[in-house]
C-alpha cells in the first residue's frame, strides 16, 4: 500500500507543477520580460502592509489612507501626466509574508517604489530585498535599525529617540532627577532604557528602575508594586493600547503618586477606553494629529492635518489614526520625489535623500545621512483631561 | 518590603483563582472523556467578550453575566455534540487536534464578530480596599469569591452527590454511572457543560480588570492545564492549590525577577513536573494515569 | 502450491532489479519531484515562485512532524520551537561569529535535535497528551527566551543574514534558492520514506496498533519514539536554517503557536503519517494561506486581523470529521473511483498496483517450494531438554487489598509443555502478565535463562527469547497477515533508525520475509497472507498471532488461551504443531480453559486457585489430585468428576 500510495501522488505533484506554471517571468535573476516602466506608461507604487494578523490595527488604516490618496491622485490626473498604479499586498504580519510580498512586487509587478511594512520585523525582512534590487523603500515602522546605514530605505515615523528627548526635556524643566520606566516587552519598548540613560546623562537624569509588560498583559500589579517602592520622581509608561491604558489604571489603583509620562504609542481613543478616569493628568508626547484644533492658526501642519482628517472621515466615517498619518507622509514624500526625479531608481533615490515635506507626523527634512527626516520639533506634549488631550504650550 | 510581598501575593492569588476554575473545567472533561480540552480558555474569553458586548448594548450587568454564562454552556455542549462526539476514532492524537481546531475556530469567530480590541465588563459592585499599604481591588475579591463558591460547589457536587460520584467514576466504571442513570453520552455532555460553566465564570469575574481578548484564551487555558497537571489531572483540590501556587509564583517572578519571564514560568513548571513528579501535588496517587 | 498470478519473488532478482523492485515508489516519486523542481523556476510566475520556495522550506518541518505523528503516534504542538531554534542558531553563528554556512547550518540542525533530546528524555516515557502540551509550552519558552535575551536580539531578532553562496554562485533569487532547497527536501523525503519502510518504522507502526504486542516482540517503544522525536526536530531545524537564509531576519514569532499550528495543519491535511502527504500539505497550506487572506475579507466585509485562523479552524474540523486520512485518503479514493470508471482494464491495473505492495512484503510460494509445506518454524533451544529455563520464586501480586498471586514457586524445564489451569480469577493471567513483563510483581522474581526479568519492560524478556500471545487478541491491524508475522522477526533484526533511513537493510528484510512466509505455511494461512489482519475471522487471527510469536524464534513461548475460538480442525493443526515444536526443543507455557486439550497436550500441568499453586505435576496425577478436583470443580468429588468428564467430552 505504501508504495502504491506514492503513485497516487504523482498526479498531485504534476498538477502542482501545472498550477505553478504561469507566465514566463524569469525567476533566476535575469532581466524581467517587462522591464521597469521606464519614463512612460503608468508609475507603479507597491505597498506591503500588515492588513491581517497581529499588526492589523496598524495596517488597515494605512491601507485605507493609501487607497484614498491613490484615488485622489488618479482623479487629479496622476504625476506629470502618467497614471499611478498602487498595488497593496498583505504580509499577514509575518516576516516571511513581507519577504514574499516584496519579491512579488519587485519581480512580477516591477514597481518603482515600495511603501511598507507596518512594523519593524517585516520592514527588516524587506530591507535586504530592496537594497539588492535597488528599489527605494519607505517604511512606516518605527525602529531606527530599519534605516540605519541603508542606501535605499527610508522611513516616516518619529524615532523613539526624538520622543524621549521631548519627554526628558520636560522632566528636566520640572526638576525630576530620577525616572522609572515601565515599558512594552516587545520591539516597541526595546532599547528605551538605554536611550533614557544616554539622553539623561546631559540633563542630570538617571533611570532608577525598569519594568516590562507584554502587549497582551492584563495584570500590572508586580510592575507597579516595584515602581511604588522605588524612589523615582516621575514614571515613563511606554507601550501601546490597551496595555498602556491598563497599566495606567493599575498605576492609579495601586496608589502610586508620581507624575506619569506616556509615549506616542497611546495616541488614540483606546487609551481612554482602557484607562478611564485614571488617565487624567497623564502627559504624553505625540504628533499633532490629535490636537489639531488647538494648534496655532499659522502652524504649517495645521492645514495639512485638517484636510487629511476631513478627507479620511468622509471616506471611512471615522477619524484617522496616527498610523494612517505615517502612510500619508510616506505616500506624499514618494509622489513628490517621483514628480521631480521620474522613475529612474538612482535619480529617485537621490531625490528622496533631499526630500522636504510638511506632513501629518511632522516636518520632514531627509539627508543622505538621515533617512528618517523628523526632529524633536515634530512632537508636542499634551495632557489628558476628561477623556481628551490638551496641548501643553511651552 | 512586606507591603510589596503582600501586594504581589494578593495579585497572584486572584490570578490563580482564574487558573483554578479553568483547571476544574479541564479535569471535569478529562475524567469522563480522557480528553485535554485545549479550547477551555476560549470559554472564558467568550463569556468575557460576550458579557462586555451585552452590557455595552445596555443590558444590566447581572443579566448580561447570566446570559453570557448560559450561552457559553450551550457552546460547550454544542462543541461536544456537533464535533467531539462525531469524530469516529477519537485517539489521543485526534482529540488534541480536534479541541485545538475548536479553539482556533472560537478565536476566529470572536475576532470576526467583536473585532481585535480587548473588551471588559464593568466592575462588579464593591469598594477597593487599602489595608496597611496593600491595595486590594474589589474585583480581586470577586475573583477569589468565585473560586470559593463555584469551585467549592463543583467539588461538593463531585464528592457528595450520587450524580457527581458516578460522573467521576464514569471513565473507569461506566456501569456505576449507568446505575445512577447516566449514559456515557449524558456524562460527556454534563462534563462539557461543567467545563463551559466554570470557564465562563472565570471569564466574567476576571474580565473587569484583566479584559477579555479574542486571542487570550489559549495561554489562559494552558495555565489552567499546568494547574491541572499539578493536580495529577484527577484531584480538584490539588489542582486548585496548584493553580493558586502558580498564580503566586508568577507574581513573584514578575515582581522580583523580570516581568518578561512571567509567562515562561508556567511552562518551566510544566516540564519540570512532567519530568520529576507526574502525579503533581497529589500525595497518594489513586490510579496510574500515565 | 504454485500460484501463477503471484508476483515475482524479490530474492530471485539480480541486485539491480531487486533495488528497483523494493524502491520503485521512492525512485519514481523523487524523480518526478526533481524534474518538476527543475522546471518550476523557468515556468512559474514570480509570486508563485515565492510561495513555492516557502512551501519547500515548510515541507521540511512538516515531514518531520508527520514522522512523529505517524510513527511515534505523538503530536508536537511546538514544532515551531525546533524550527526557531534551528533558525536562530544558524542566524547567530552567521552574523555574530562569521561561521561558514555549512557549519552554521549543521549546528542549527544539531541544536534543534539536542533540545528535542533534552525534552524527550523525560517526556517520551509518558503517553497521551503530555508531549503535545509540553512541546506547546516549549514553543512559548523558546519565544520568550528569544525575546528577553540580548544574545538573540530580543524582539527585533537577528537580521542582516547574508545570502548563501554555493560553489561560488550567490543564491540571490528565488529560482536559485528553490534549487538550493530542493535537494535537501528530496534527501529528507528519501530518508523519511526509508524510515517508514524500515525495521524501526514497521516496529513503530506496530506500536501504534498494539503497544503490548509490539513490546512483547522485543520493540523498545521508548527508545524508538525518542529517536523519532529527535529526528523530527532535526527536520524542523533544517527548515529553520533555510528560512533564516530566505527571509534574512529571525524574530521571536518564528517559534510562535500559529507557526506550529500551520505545520500541524500541513500534516493533517496531507494525511496523518504520510511523508508525501506532508509535502503536498505544505504546498496546499501555503497556497491556501495566500488565498484565504483575500477570500475571507471578501466574504465577511470588515473582517480584519488574523482571519486566516477561521479558515484553518474550519479546514481542520472538516478534515477530521469527514476526511481523517487527509489528502492521501482523498487521492486514494479518487484513484479507486477513477479505476472503477475504467471498464477496460480495471483488474489489470489493480493487480499492477498491488504488485508493488506485494513485492515489498511478500514472497512467492514457488520461490520457497523446496521447503516443504510441513516445514517446521525455527525455534531456539539454548538449553538441553530438561534443564530449567524459567524459574518463578515467591511470586506475589497484590492489588490494593486483594491478593491475586500468593508466593507462587514454579520451575519450567526446557523442551516441555507446561499447562497452567485454574478456575476463573485464579490468577493465571496475572501470573502470565508478570512473566512476560506486562506487569511488575509486588514481590518475588522471575528468572529466564538465568536472568531476572520480572519488573522489566516486556521488550527485555523478548530480546532474550521469550514471546507470547494474548487472550484478547493484539493484532497489528494496519498491516496484512504477512506483515504481522513479519513483525515477529523484529528480534532477529539489528538495523536501527540510521540504517533504516539510509535504506541499508534490504538483505535483512528479504530473509525475514522468507521466514514469515514459511511460518504462515506451517499453519495453513498462506491463502490469506495478504489480507488485512483485522478482517480475518477470529480463529485465524489467533493462529496468526501464534505464527507471529513463532516468527521471533523464541526459546520460551507463552500462549494465553490459544485454543479459544478455534475450530476443531484448527485446534488439531495447532496441537500438532506445538508438539513438533516441543520435540524440536521449544519450551511452551500455556494458559487454557480447555482442560481436555491441556491434559492431552501438556507434559506437566500446574493448577492455580485463588492465587495459590495447589498442584503441579504430570497430567494424570494432577487430574486425580483430590485437592485439584475440589478446588477446581467444587467440593463434591463425584459431582466434580462427572463435570470433568462432561467438560472433556464437550471439548
Residues from chain C contacting residue B264 (CB–CB below 8 Å): 140-141, 144-145
Q: How far out from the chain centre does Cα C395 lie? A: 33
Per-residue DSSP letter, B119: B
Query: Are A356 and A322 in contact, with CB atoms under 8 Å apart?
Result: no
The predicted model scores a pTM of 0.79
Overall average pLDDT of the A129-142 stretch:
89
For residue A350, CA distances in Å to A45, A82, A131, A139, C67 come to 17, 21, 14, 17, 53
> What pLDDT score was predicted for residue A24?
45
Residue C354 predicted with pLDDT over 70 = no
- Cβ–Cβ contacts within 10 Å for residue A83, how many? 13
CA-atom Rg of chain B in angstroms: 19
How much is the CA Rg of chain C, to the nearest whole Å?
Answer: 29
Residues of C in contact with B116 (CB under 8 A): 304-305
Q: To the nearest whole angstrom, how far is the Cα of A210 from the nearest Cα of chain B? A: 10
Residue-level pLDDT at C236: 95
Question: Out of B36, B86, B260, whose CB is closest to C144?
Answer: B260
Choose among C8, A287, C92, C137: nearest CA to B275: C137
Q: Is C144 on the interface with B (CB under 8 A)?
A: yes
Chain B residues close to A219, C-beta within 8 Å = 11, 15, 209-210, 251
Chain B residues in contact with C137 (beta carbon < 8 A): 222, 226, 266-267, 270-271
Separation of alpha carbons B49 and C459, rounded Å: 53
pLDDT at A328 over 90: yes
Mean pLDDT of B183-207: 91
Question: Within a 13 Å sphere around the CA of C515, how many CA atoms are in the beta-carbon half?
Answer: 25
CA C572, CA C566: separation in Å to the nearest integer?
10
> In the predicted model, what is the mean pLDDT of chain C?
77
Angstrom distance (rounded) from CA A122 to CA A146: 10
What is the predicted pLDDT for the residue at C241?
94
Check residue C592 and give its pLDDT: 80
Is the Cβ–Cβ distance between C189 and C30 less than 8 Å?
yes
The partner residue sitting opposite C157, judged by closest CB among A51, A103, A121, is: A121
**Is residue B254 a contact partner of residue B201, using CB atoms and an 8 Å limit?**
no
Identify the pLDDT of residue C649. Answer: 59
**Higher per-residue confidence, C416 vs C311:** C416
pLDDT at C646: 65
Q: What digits encode the pLDDT tens for the residues B110-162?
A: 888 887 777 888 888 888 887 877 888 888 899 999 999 999 999 888 888 88
Backbone torsions φ then ψ of C396, nearest 5 degrees:
-130, 140
Of C114 and C460, the structure prediction assigns the larger pLDDT to: C114
pLDDT at C359 over 70: no
Please give the grid coordinates belonging to residue C85.
531554534
Q: Are A163 and A262 in contact (CB under 8 A)?
A: no
Could you read off the pLDDT of C426-441 as tens digits, one per residue?
788 888 888 888 788 8
- Which residue on chain C is closest to B272 by alpha carbon? C122
Distances (CA, A) of B9 to A221, A276, A328, A338: 10, 26, 48, 61
- Picking from C33, C42, C155, C358 by the largest number of A CB atoms within 10 A of its own CB, the best residue to mutate is C155
pLDDT of residue C643: 62
pLDDT category of residue C612 using cuts at 50, 70 and 90: confident
- Which of C397, C386, C377 lies closest to C441, judged by CA? C397
Round to whole Å and give the CA distance between A56 and B215.
Answer: 14
Q: Report pLDDT for C240.
A: 94
Please state the length of chain A: 394
Please give the Cα distance from A341 to A358 (Å, whole number).
19
**C350 falls in which pLDDT band (50, 70, 90)?**
very low
CB contact under 8 A, A222 and B255: yes
What pLDDT is recorded for position B197? Answer: 95
Cell digits for C35? 524534474
The three grid cell numbers given for residue C241, joined into one nine-digit string: 536554517
% of chain C beyond a pLDDT of 90: 9
> How is residue C200 written as a grid cell?
524501526
- Please provide residue C224's backbone torsions phi and psi, each rounded to the nearest 5 degrees: -65, -45
Q: Is the ipTM of this complex over 0.90?
A: no
Q: What is the pLDDT of residue C7?
A: 40
A212 closest CB neighbour out of B128, B215, B259: B259
Q: How far is Cα A262 from Cα A264, in angstroms, rounded to an integer?
A: 7
Q: B107 or A218, which is more confident?
A: B107
Q: What is the reported pLDDT for B214? A: 82
| Cα separation values, A168 from A171, A233, A283, B72, Å | 5, 13, 12, 49
Work out the pLDDT band at A375, boundaries 50, 70, 90: confident
Exposed/middle/buried for residue C279 (C-beta within 10 Å: 0-12, 13-18, 19+): buried
| Cα gap B191→B227, rounded to integer Å | 18
- Encode pLDDT of B64-115 as tens digits: 999 999 999 999 999 999 988 888 777 777 888 889 889 988 988 888 888 7
Q: Alpha helices of chain A — where are they, by DSSP H?
A: 2-20, 56-75, 95-107, 120-133, 160-173, 192-203, 221-228, 243-253, 269-275, 301-316, 322-341, 345-352
Answer whether residue C189 shows pLDDT above 70. Answer: yes
- Which positions in chain B touch C317 (Cβ < 8 Å)? 83, 98, 101-102, 105
Pairing outcome for strands C402-413 and C388-399: antiparallel
The candidate with the shortest Cα–Cα distance to B104, out of C300, C320, C253, C141, is C320
Mean pLDDT value of segment A196-215? 88
Helix, strand or coil, per DSSP, at residue A45: strand
Q: Which residues of A touch B209 (CB under 8 A)?
A: 218-219
Q: CB-side exposure of B270: number of CA atoms within 13 Å? A: 27
* Predicted pLDDT at A29: 61
Rg for chain A, CA atoms, rounded: 23
Question: Closest chain A residue to B139 measured between Cα atoms?
Answer: A253
DSSP B83: I
pLDDT of C84 > 80? The answer is yes
CB contact under 8 A, B8 and A56: no
CA C638 from chain centre, in angstroms, equals 53
User: In the numeric block, which cell numbers belong to residue C470?
Assistant: 494474548
**Segment 121-150 of chain A within 8 Å of chain C by CB:** 121, 124-125, 127-129, 132, 143, 145
pLDDT at position C642 over 70: no
pLDDT digits (tens, 9 = 90+) for A278-308: 889 899 988 888 888 888 888 888 999 999 9
Residues of chain C in contact with residue B215, where contact means CB-CB under 8 angstroms, are: 306
B200 to chain A, closest Cα gap in Å: 18
Yes or no, beta carbons of B4 and A229 under 8 Å apart: yes
Tens of pLDDT, residue by residue over A80-116, are 888 899 998 888 777 778 887 888 788 778 899 999 8
pLDDT surpasses 60 at A332:
yes
Q: CB neighbours of A81 closer than 8 A, spacing ≥ 6?
A: none
- Residue C641: predicted pLDDT: 62
Kindly report the nearest CA distance between residue B216 and chain A, in angstroms.
8
Average pLDDT in the A158-169 region? 85
For chain C, the maximum distance between any two Cα atoms, rounded to a whole number of angstroms, is: 97
**Phi and psi angles of residue B50, each rounded to the nearest 5 degrees, phi first:** -60, -45
Taking residues A367-393, report their average pLDDT: 85
Q: Which residue has the higher pLDDT, C103 or C47?
A: C103
Question: Strands A206-213 and A178-184: what pairing?
Answer: parallel
Q: What is the pLDDT of residues B228-274, one digit of tens each?
A: 888 877 788 889 999 999 999 998 988 888 777 777 888 888 888 87
Neighbours of C339 (CB within 10 A): 14
Question: Model confidence over C228-261: pLDDT tens digits?
Answer: 899 999 999 999 999 998 888 888 888 888 888 8
Over range A35-55, report the average pLDDT.
Answer: 76
Contact B7 A185 (CB under 8 A): no
Using alpha carbons, list the distances in angstroms from residue C436 to A20, B255, C212, C449, C561. 56, 54, 10, 14, 15
Judged against a pLDDT cut of 80, whether residue A218 lies above it is answered with: no
Contact, C237 vs C184, CB < 8 A? no
Bridge partners, C408 (sequence order):
C395
Amino acid at each position: 500500500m505504501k508504495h502504491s500510495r506514492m503513485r497516487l501522488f504523482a498526479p498531485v505533484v504534476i498538477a502542482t507543477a501545472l498550477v505553478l506554471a504561469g507566465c514566463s517571468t524569469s525567476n533566476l535573476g535575469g532581466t524581467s520580460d517587462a522591464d521597469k516602466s521606464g519614463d512612460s506608461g503608468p508609475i507603479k507604487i507597491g505597498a506591503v502592509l500588515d492588513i491581517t494578523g497581529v499588526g492589523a490595527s496598524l495596517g488597515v488604516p494605512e491601507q485605507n489612507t493609501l487607497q484614498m490618496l491613490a484615488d485622489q491622485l488618479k482623479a487629479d490626473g496622476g504625476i506629470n501626466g502618467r497614471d499611478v498604479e498602487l498595488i497593496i499586498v498583505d504580509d499577514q504580519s509575518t516576516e516571511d509574508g513581507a519577504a514574499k510580498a516584496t519579491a512579488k512586487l519587485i519581480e512580477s509587478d516591477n514597481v518603482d517604489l515600495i511603501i511598507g511594512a507596518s512594523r519593524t520585523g517585516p520592514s527588516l525582512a524587506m530591507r535586504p530585498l530592496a537594497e539588492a534590487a535597488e528599489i527605494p523603500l519607505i517604511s512606516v515602522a518605527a525602529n531606527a535599525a530599519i534605516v540605519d546605514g541603508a542606501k535605499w530605505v527610508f522611513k516616516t515615523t518619529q524615532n523613539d529617540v526624538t520622543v524621549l528627548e521631548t519627554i526628558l526635556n520636560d522632566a528636566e524643566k520640572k526638576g525630576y532627577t530620577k525616572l522609572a520606566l515601565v515599558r512594552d516587552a516587545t520591539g516597541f519598548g526595546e532599547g528605551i532604557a538605554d536611550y533614557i540613560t544616554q539622553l539623561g546623562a546631559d540633563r542630570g537624569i538617571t533611570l532608577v528602575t525598569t519594568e516590562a509588560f507584554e502587549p497582551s498583559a492584563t495584570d500590572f500589579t508586580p510592575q507597579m508594586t516595584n515602581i511604588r517602592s522605588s524612589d523615582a520622581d516621575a514614571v515613563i509608561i511606554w507601550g501601546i493600547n490597551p496595555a498602556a491604558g491598563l497599566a495606567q489604571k493599575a498605576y492609579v489603583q495601586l496608589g502610586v503618586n508620581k507624575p506619569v509620562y506616556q509615549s506616542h504609542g497611546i495616541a488614540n481613543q483606546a487609551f481612554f477606553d482602557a484607562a478611564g478616569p485614571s488617565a487624567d493628568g497623564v502627559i504624553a508626547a505625540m504628533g499633532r494629529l490629535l490636537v489639531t484644533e488647538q494648534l496655532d492658526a499659522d502652524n504649517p501642519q495645521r492645514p495639512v492635518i485638517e484636510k487629511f482628517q476631513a478627507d479620511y472621515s468622509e471616506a471611512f466615517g471615522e477619524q484617522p489614526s496616527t498610523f494612517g498619518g505615517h502612510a500619508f507622509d510616506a505616500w506624499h514624500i514618494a509622489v513628490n520625489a517621483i514628480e521631480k526625479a521620474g522613475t529612474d531608481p538612482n535619480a529617485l533615490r537621490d531625490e528622496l535623500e533631499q526630500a522636504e515635506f510638511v506632513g501629518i507626523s511632522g516636518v520632514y527634512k531627509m539627508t543622505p545621512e538621515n533617512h528618517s527626516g523628523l526632529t524633536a520639533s515634530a512632537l508636542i506634549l499634551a495632557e489628558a483631561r476628561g477623556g481628551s488631550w490638551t496641548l501643553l504650550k511651552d | 518590603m512586606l507591603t510589596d510581598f503582600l501586594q504581589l501575593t494578593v495579585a497572584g492569588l486572584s490570578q490563580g483563582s482564574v487558573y483554578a476554575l479553568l483547571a476544574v473545567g479541564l479535569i471535569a472533561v478529562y475524567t469522563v472523556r480522557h480528553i485535554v480540552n485545549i479550547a477551555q480558555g476560549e470559554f472564558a474569553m467568550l463569556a468575557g467578550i460576550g458579557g462586555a458586548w451585552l452590557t455595552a448594548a445596555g443590558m444590566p450587568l447581572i443579566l448580561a453575566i447570566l446570559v453570557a454564562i448560559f450561552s457559553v454552556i450551550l457552546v460547550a455542549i454544542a462543541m461536544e455534540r456537533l464535533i467531539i462526539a462525531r469524530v469516529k476514532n477519537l485517539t489521543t492524537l485526534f482529540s488534541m487536534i480536534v479541541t485545538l481546531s475548536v479553539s482556533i475556530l472560537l478565536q476566529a469567530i470572536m475576532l470576526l464578530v467583536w473585532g481585535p480590541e480587548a473588551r471588559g465588563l464593568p466592575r462588579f459592585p464593591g469598594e477597593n480596599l487599602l489595608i496597611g499599604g496593600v491595595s486590594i481591588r474589589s474585583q480581586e475579591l470577586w475573583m477569589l469569591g468565585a473560586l470559593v463558591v463555584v469551585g467549592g460547589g463543583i467539588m461538593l457536587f463531585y464528592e457528595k452527590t450520587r450524580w457527581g460520584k458516578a460522573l467521576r467514576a464514569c471513565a473507569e466504571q461506566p456501569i456505576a454511572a449507568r446505575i445512577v442513570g447516566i449514559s456515557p453520552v449524558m456524562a460527556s455532555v454534563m462534563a462539557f457543560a461543567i467545563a463551559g460553566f466554570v470557564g465562563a465564570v472565570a471569564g466574567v469575574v476576571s474580565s473587569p480588570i484583566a479584559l477579555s481578548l479574542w486571542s487570550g484564551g489559549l495561554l489562559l487555558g494552558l495555565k489552567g492545564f499546568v494547574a491541572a497537571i499539578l493536580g495529577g489531572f484527577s484531584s480538584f483540590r490539588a489542582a486548585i492549590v496548584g493553580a493558586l501556587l502558580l498564580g503566586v509564583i508568577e507574581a513573584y517572578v514578575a515582581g522580583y525577577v523580570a516581568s518578561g519571564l512571567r509567562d515562561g514560568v508556567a511552562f518551566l513548571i510544566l516540564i519540570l513536573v512532567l519530568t520529576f513528579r507526574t502525579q503533581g501535588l497529589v500525595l497518594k496517587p489513586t490510579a496510574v494515569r500515565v | 502450491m504454485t500460484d501463477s498470478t503471484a508476483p515475482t519473488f524479490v530474492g530471485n532478482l539480480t541486485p539491480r532489479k531487486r533495488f528497483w523492485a523494493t524502491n520503485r515508489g521512492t525512485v519514481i516519486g523523487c524523480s518526478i519531484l526533481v524534474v518538476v523542481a527543475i522546471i518550476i523556476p523557468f515556468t512559474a510566475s514570480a509570486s508563485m515562485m515565492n510561495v513555492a520556495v516557502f512551501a519547500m522550506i515548510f515541507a521540511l518541518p512538516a515531514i518531520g512532524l508527520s514522522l512523529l505523528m505517524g510513527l511515534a503516534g505523538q503530536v508536537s504542538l511546538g514544532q515551531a520551537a525546533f524550527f526557531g531554534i534551528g533558525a536562530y542558531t544558524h542566524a547567530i553563528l552567521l552574523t555574530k561569529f562569521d561561521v561558514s554556512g555549512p557549519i552554521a547550518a549543521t549546528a542549527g540542525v544539531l541544536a534543534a535535535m539536542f533540545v528535542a533530546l533534552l525534552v524527550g528524555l523525560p517526556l517520551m516515557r509518558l503517553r497521551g497528551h503530555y508531549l503535545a502540551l509540553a512541546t506547546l509550552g516549549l514553543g512559548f519558552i523558546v519565544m520568550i527566551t528569544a525575546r528577553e535575551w540580548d544574545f538573540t536580539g530580543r524582539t527585533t531578532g537577528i537580521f542582516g543574514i547574508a545570502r548563501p553562496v554555493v560553489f561560488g554562485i550567490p543564491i540571490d533569487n528565488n529560482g536559485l534558492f528553490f534549487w538550493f532547497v530542493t535537494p535537501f527536501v528530496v534527501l529528507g523525503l528519501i530518508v523519511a520514506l526509508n524510515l517508514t519502510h524500515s525495521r524501526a518504522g514497521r516496529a513503530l507502526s506496530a506500536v501504534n496498533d498494539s503497544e503490548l504486542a509490539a513490546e512483547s516482540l522485543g520493540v523498545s517503544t521508548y527508545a524508538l519514539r525518542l529517536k523519532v522525536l529527535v529526528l523530527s526536530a532535526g527536520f524542523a531545524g533544517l527548515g529553520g536554517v533555510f528560512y533564516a537564509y530566505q527571509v534574512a531576519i529571525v524574530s521571536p514569532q518564528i517559534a510562535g503557536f500559529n507557526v506550529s499550528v500551520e505545520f500541524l495543519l500541513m500534516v493533517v491535511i496531507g494525511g496523518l503519517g504520510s511523508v508525501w502527504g506532508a509535502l503536498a500539505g505544505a504546498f496546499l497550506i501555503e497556497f491556501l494561506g495566500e488565498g484565504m487572506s483575500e477570500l475571507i475579507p471578501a466574504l465577511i466585509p470588515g473582517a480584519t486581523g488574523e482571519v486566516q485562523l477561521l479558515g484553518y479552524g474550519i479546514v481542520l474540523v472538516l478534515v477530521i470529521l469527514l476526511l481523517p486520512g487527509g489528502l492521501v485518503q482523498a487521492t486514494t479514493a479518487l484513484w479507486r473511483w477513477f479505476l472503477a470508471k475504467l471498464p477496460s482494464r480495471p483488474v489489470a491495473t489493480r493487480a499492477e498496483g498491488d504488485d508493488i505492495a506485494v513485492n515489498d512484503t511478500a514472497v512467492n510460494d514457488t520461490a520457497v517450494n523446496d521447503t516443504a509445506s510441513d516445514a517446521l518454524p525455527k525455534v531456539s533451544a539454548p538449553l538441553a531438554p530438561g534443564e530449567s529455563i524459567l524459574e518463578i520464586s515467591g511470586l506475589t501480586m497484590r492489588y490494593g487489598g486483594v491478593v491475586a498471586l500468593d508466593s507462587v514457586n514454579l520451575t519450567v524445564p526446557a523442551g516441555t509443555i507446561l499447562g497452567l489451569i485454574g478456575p476463573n480469577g485464579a490468577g493465571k493471567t496475572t501470573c502470565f502478565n508478570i512473566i512476560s513483563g506486562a506487569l511488575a510483581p509486588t514481590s518475588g522474581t522471575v528468572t529466564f535463562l538465568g536472568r531476572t526479568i520480572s519488573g522489566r519492560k516486556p521488550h527485555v524478556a523478548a530480546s532474550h527469547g521469550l514471546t507470547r500471545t494474548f487472550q484478547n487478541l493484539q493484532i497489528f491491524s494496519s498491516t496484512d497477515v504477512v506483515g504481522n508475522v513479519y513483525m515477529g522477526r523484529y528480534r532477529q533484526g539489528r538495523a536501527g533508525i540510521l540504517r533504516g533511513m539510509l535504506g541499508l537493510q534490504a538483505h535483512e528484510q528479504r530473509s525475514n520475509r522468507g521466514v514469515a512466509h514459511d511460518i504462515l505455511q506451517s499453519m495453513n494461512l498462506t491463502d490469506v497472507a495478504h489480507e488485512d489482519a483485522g478482517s480475518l475471522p477470529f480463529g485465524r487471527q489467533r493462529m496468526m498471532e501464534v505464527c507471529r510469536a513463532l516468527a521471533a524464534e523464541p526459546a520460551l513461548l507463552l500462549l494465553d488461551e490459544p485454543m479459544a475460538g478455534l475450530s476443531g480442525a484448527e485446534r488439531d493443526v495447532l496441537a500438532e504443531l506445538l508438539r513438533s515444536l516441543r520435540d524440536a526443543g521449544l519450551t511452551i507455557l500455556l494458559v487454557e480453559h480447555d482442560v481436555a486439550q491441556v491434559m492431552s497436550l501438556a507434559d506437566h500441568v500446574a493448577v492455580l486457585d485463588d492465587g495459590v499453586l495447589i498442584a503441579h505435576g504430570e497430567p494424570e496425577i494432577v487430574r486425580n489430585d483430590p485437592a485439584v478436583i475440589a478446588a477446581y470443580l467444587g467440593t463434591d468429588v463425584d459431582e466434580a468428576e462427572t463435570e470433568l468428564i462432561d467438560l472433556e467430552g464437550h471439548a
